[in-house]
Amino acid sequence: MGCTTSSSPFKDYYLGNERKKRCNCDCHKGPKSPLDPLGKYALGGNGEAAETYKEDARIPLTGRQRFLIRRSWKGISRNIGETGINMFLSLFEKNEEVMRFFTGLKSVKNLSELRTSKVLENHVKGVMLTIDEAITNMDDADTIVDMLLYVGKSHTRFTGFDPNVFMLIKGPFLLSVSDTLGDRYTAHMQDIYEKAIEFILHTLISGFNQDDKKADDSPGGKEEDTKANSNGYGLGYASPKPGTSRED
């Protein structure tokens, strides 16, 4: 529509040693939009090109999928507390045996009482913070893999904890995300969220299994650590790394 171009609508440019083509149309303002036949670039809502994403074999999502889940996750972030509570209520409703890992919830008599529990609320904050960090930093594989391995490893402090419990989160997580997003939770987004949560949970399990025996090496071992964490945070919550802090 009135777009003025040179004889060719595209001009060459270089990214490192790689030759690419960029739109040469005069109607574009600011940064030009890269020609992206392979879907390697995600376009922002204003038509401008987002940054180029490097692929990493450790992350099961393409650059485009990572862009889409971060954009979608903003809708979750605005209701992250409620989404997390609903996720755990669904988890406990379908897997009552999991509650034994939460010593602070032993006095809770029903799901209605559980919804208003401060112990659960504090735990939800930790779990959802971990998931939030993973999803919003999906382009930084080194950081999120290290973080998730650390969180998984931290659960070796809980006597008798089964790392396979992590995978029980998948269904309740997807259900709560679907409830929060409503019509925005399309089949395409469901596929992306499934890949993301499976990656997160499998990495947590890897972290636990990576060091599950070393927790017993020091005097007191797991028993001592469990007493130090008497609130019963037995799923998805990790104490902050040295030099950092986390508010409950």
pLDDT bucket at 112, cuts 50 / 70 / 90: confident
Q: Which domain does 40 fall in, by range?
A: 10-52
Residues 30 and 116 in one domain: no
49-52 and 10-15 beta bridge pairing? unpaired
pLDDT bucket at 214, cuts 50 / 70 / 90: low
What's the CA gap between 25 and 6, in Å, rounded? 8
Residues 154 and 130 in one domain: yes
What's the CA gap between 193 and 19, in Å, rounded? 33
Residues 108 and 70 in one domain: yes
Residues 79 and 22 in one domain: no
pLDDT score of 18: 52
Residues 46 and 68 in one domain: no
Residues 15 and 43 in one domain: yes
Instruction: Identify which of 121, 143, 159 has the alpha carbon closest to the alpha carbon of residue 237.
Output: 121
Residues 45 and 91 in one domain: no
Inside any domain, residue 217: yes
> How is residue 102 written in tokens?
């939460």
> Over pLDDT 70: what percentage of the chain?
63
Residues 122 and 196 in one domain: yes
How many structural domains is the chain composed of? 2
Residues 42 and 159 in one domain: no
Q: What is the 3-state secondary structure (H, E, C) of 185-205?
A: CCHHHHHHHHHHHHHHHHHHH
pLDDT score of 19: 54
Residues 46 and 135 in one domain: no
Residues 97 and 220 in one domain: yes
Per-residue model confidence as pLDDT tens digits over 171-181: 999 999 999 99
Q: Per-residue pLDDT for 29 more than 70?
A: no
Per-residue model confidence as pLDDT tens digits over 61-75: 999 999 999 999 999
CATH number, residue 70: 1.10.490.10
pLDDT bucket at 103, cuts 50 / 70 / 90: confident
**Between residues 34 and 115, which one has the greater pLDDT?**
115
Inside any domain, residue 238: no
**Between residues 175 and 30, which one has the greater pLDDT?**
175
On whether the pTM is more than 0.85, the answer is no
